[in-house]
Amino acid sequence: MPRLLVGAFHLYLNRFEKNNFYSYKPTDIKHEVDQALKYDSMQKEAIYLWVVVLKDHYTLSTHRESCLALLDKGIKKYPADKKYISELYNAKAVITDVKKDSSGVRKSLEEAVKIYPENLSAWDNLMKHHYQQNSNSSGMLACDKLIALLKKKNNSKMLANAFIYKGDFLWKQDKKEEAKKAYAEALVWDADNATAKERAKL
């Protein structure tokens, strides 16, 4: 591996294996990613990390399309790596212009969770997207799928968040009593969840 890819490689490992990606600043790797792309634009780490750096350090209106094209190439090149492909779809959703292509954002997120259901970041982004787009019925269905998954995984903190989302979708549909039950259920799974505590006061 060329020296210029070392920084990207270590960030990749932290992101996917140690869940410690955000202890690094994108500015620390901007140069390494730029150089990595010059040497090998289809290198796994460079494909994903370009999105991270692009989001904070480039003008999206100028570079968005080329980055999306790179992600599509990565998706085709590494189909067997479900976890990685899921992250690429999640990344596509993050940098897609939601005002111009809301359905594209949604499709990318739905594909991300379909390919690798354990991608909680993609689930969280999908919930936020439904909420922002007032897609309350679709949001409810997604919540129920996520809740069923998390119960099998015994992930209590994320379960609490899923019930909060469910309560919020119900509240927006003026189903306030059902929403309150969802908020109460969130506290069952995580009694210290500050958001659930606030929602329970409604």
Tens-digit pLDDT profile for residues 29-44: 556 556 655 665 577 8
What band does 9 get if pLDDT is binned at 50, 70 and 90? very low
* 9 vs 6: CA distance, rounded Å: 5
Residue 9 burial (CB count, 10 A): 18
- What is the pLDDT, as a whole number, of residue 8? 42
58 or 102: which leads in pLDDT: 102
Residue 5 has pLDDT above 60, yes or no: no
What band does 15 get if pLDDT is binned at 50, 70 and 90? very low
**Per-residue pLDDT tens over the stretch 164-183:** 999 999 999 999 999 999 99
Topology (CATH level 3) of domain 136-202: 1.25.40
Least confident range of 67-81, 161-175, 187-201: 67-81
Question: Which residue, chain included where needed, has tokens 């059902």?
Answer: 178
Handedness of CA 198, 142, 87, 65 (dihedral sign): negative
Whether the model pTM is above 0.85? no
Do 181 and 175 form a contact (C-beta atoms < 8 A)? no
Do 127 and 113 form a contact (C-beta atoms < 8 A)? no
- What is the pLDDT, as a whole number, of residue 148? 94
24 secondary structure, DSSP code: S
* 89 vs 82: CA distance, rounded Å: 11
Domain ranges of the chain: 1-58, 136-202
Q: One-letter amino acid identity for 10?
A: H
In angstroms, how far apart are the furthest CA atoms of the chain?
59
93 or 40: which leads in pLDDT: 93
- What is the pLDDT, as a whole number, of residue 18? 44
202 secondary structure, DSSP code: -
Residue 51 has pLDDT above 80, yes or no: no
What band does 107 get if pLDDT is binned at 50, 70 and 90? very high
Considering the chain, what percentage of its residues have pLDDT values greater than 70?
76
* 139 vs 88: CA distance, rounded Å: 22
116 secondary structure, DSSP code: -
- What is the pLDDT, as a whole number, of residue 38? 64
**Per-residue pLDDT tens over the stretch 140-170:** 999 999 999 999 988 899 999 999 999 999 9
